[in-house]
Structure 1
Amino acid sequence: MATPPYPPPPPYVPQPPANRLGGKHKTVLGCGGLLFTFVLIGAIGSACSPTGSETTKKVPGPAVTVTVTATATVTPAANAAAGSPKRAQESAPAPAASAEPVTAKARLSNHVGQQLQAAQDAAQAEGFLVLTSHDATGGNRMQVWDRNWKVCSQSPGPGTLDTATTIDFGAVKLEEACP
């Protein structure tokens, strides 16, 4: 037998398909998948949070009555002695109202033992708008999520106060004991 004049063909190896997605498409799809993952984790985390176990009752605040008094002072002019009543009326200064500071008072309830966010909401409903809070353990931790803290102390205590008074709540995390 004679040898064939040409060499045998190489074995057939299928070629992988050409990449139809460029680098930009891969990046967009990767970022979209990453964003979806973060949203999914956030939704699961918020569904599993223990905030629903605490119930708080909103108490309406008392009615606040503000009384404003004005006093007028009229001084007769020097021309009034001259006998001309018309001139005395023309030269008399306009009555001036004395500007006394108006302060509103309201009753502050005892908010110790409440969830920090509920205590803040209740104090605002009572008319107190200047509110602060601090870590009662002395650890200087920030109350980033007020619903995760409970009130251990309140300064000033309950009573009738000026509504411009700063109310400070000492708080600890829900699972911690008050110092």
Structure 2
Amino acid sequence: MTVPTPAPGYPQQLDAAPAPTAPGAHPPFAPRPEAGPGNVDGQLNAKQKTVLGCGGMVAFFLIAAVVAAAVSPSEAKSAEAKPAPTVTVTVTATVTVTAPPPAAVKAPEPSPSPTQETAPQTAQVSDMTGKSGDLLVEALKTAGFADGYKATSFHDVSGQGRTVLLLTNWKICEQDPKNKAVPVTEKISVGVVKFGETCP
């Protein structure tokens, strides 16, 4: 077969047309052209993959936000704030009280009748004539008087009306009663003069 020669003034074709192939025969390992905007093979380039990845992440976050909004925080708080059930425990205690025995009532003592008066205590009064007044006071206390000085009444019988103070300086001239048992409540009258003076 003779290949026609191009006419003068037309560029010569650099590539020859591909030779026809037999029906049903495919060239082995034929490279497929990269997909582009007009490519119908469905393959994605790098820019399309980036856009699809970002879109998937946005959709994921939107779904997560919807799920979080579905669970209301007020319901969670109400579930936590629900009080625990009240448990009532009844405790019964048995107390045994032992009463003390009744105290014995003491019968009042009978009061003495007016006719049964107790006799006052008595004491023997010795005769102390010619001795000093302080010896009489000691003798009365020994006999049973509570206070020998208060049981006596001293007075000056010299006629001078002097006050009897220091009993050791005074001599007993008169004593009433004497050598007699008398009640301890009785007063002993004693007349005295100073030593060196004569009893009247």
The answer to which structure, 1 or 2, has the higher relative contact order (CA under 8 A, 6+ apart) is: 1
TM-score for both structures, normalised by structure 1: 0.45
Larger radius of gyration: 2
More helix by share: 1
